[in-house]
A and B are shown apart, each in its own frame.
Chain A
C-alpha cells in the first residue's frame, strides 16, 4: 500500500448532513420561485400601468383641450372611450370624468 491510500479521497457523509443540505436546496428553490413570481407580478403591473397610461393620457389631454376650447364633442369622445374600453376594459365614462 502506498502512503496516500491510507487517506481516502472520499468519506461517508453522516445522514443528518444530507438532510440539512437537501432541505436547504429545497428551500432555495422555493425562495427562487417566490422571487420570480414577485418579479413577474411587478413587471406585469408596471406593463399594465404603462399601457393604460399610453391610452388614457392622450384621451385626457384631448378632453382637457376640448373643454378649454368649449368645443367638447361628447358623443365622439364617448364612442372613442367605448371602443377603448371594449378593447382594454380599462376606462369608463362618468359625466366627463375618466378613471380606471
Chain B
C-alpha cells in the first residue's frame, strides 16, 4: 500500500508526455494522474461552452475516450491540455452539426451549476458573487458560439494562435472575435460586475 502511494506521488510529478508513455506501456496509474491533472480544466471549459451539465458530461467522457484512441499518435508539444480542449470542442461542434441545430437553442433549458469564485467569502459577498457569476454565464450564452468559444479558450490560457488553428481561421479573426466578445460582455454586464 505504501509502495502504491509512493508510485502515485511519482506519477504526479511526471510531465504529461512521460505519463502518456508510461500509460501506453501498460501503467494504468499514469493515466489516472494525467486524468486528474486535466479533468477539471476540460470539464470547466465544456460546462461554460455547452451551458448544460448533461451535455458537458457526455462531451467530457467522449472527449477522453477519443483522446485515448488518439493517444498513441499524440505528438508532444508540451500542450496536452490544449490538445484535449481541441478534441472536446471539435466533438461538441460535430454533435451540434449532427443534430442540425444551433447549440444555443437548448441552453436556456438547463443552467450550469453554480460557478461562484472558489475562495472563501462572507455569505453576503458570496451571494453577490453567485449572482454575478450567473449574470456572466447568461451574458456568455447570448454571445455567438464562435465568440463565446474564443473567450472561454482564452480563459483557459490557450494562445490566440492555437485558437486560430482550432477554429481554422486567421489570428486576426480570432482577435476580432475576442474584441467583440469582450465588448458585448461589457455592455451586457454594465453595472453588474464590480459593484
Contact = CB atoms under 8 A, between A and B. Distances in A.
Please report whether the interface of chain B is mostly helix, strand, loop or mixed according to DSSP: helix
B43 A11 contact: yes
A99 interface: no
B129 A8 contact: no
Contact of A10 (B43, B65, B140): B43
B92 interface: no
Contacts of B136: 3, 6-7
A12 B113 CA distance: 10
B28 A10 contact: no
B65 A24 contact: yes
B169 interface: no
Interface in B117-169: 117-118, 129, 132-133, 136-137, 140, 155-157
Contact of B61 (A21, A28, A33): A21
Interface string A26-44: 1011001100000000000
Contacts of A17: 39, 43, 57, 60-61
Interface residues of B, number: 39
Nearest to B128: A1
B129 A6 contact: yes
Contacts of A7: 48, 115, 133, 136-137, 140, 155
Contacts of A21: 35, 39, 60-61, 64-65
Contact of B40 (A10, A25, A26, A28): A10
Contacts of B157: 9
Contacts of A12: 40, 43
A23 to B, nearest CB: 10
A1 B39 CA distance: 25
Contacts of A25: 23, 28, 31-32, 35, 64, 68
Interface in B92-119: 113, 115-118
A18 B64 CA distance: 10
19 contacts: A1-B117, A6-B115, A6-B136, A6-B193, A7-B115, A7-B136, A9-B44, A9-B156, A10-B41, A11-B47, A11-B113, A12-B43, A13-B60, A17-B39, A17-B43, A21-B39, A21-B65, A22-B31, A22-B32
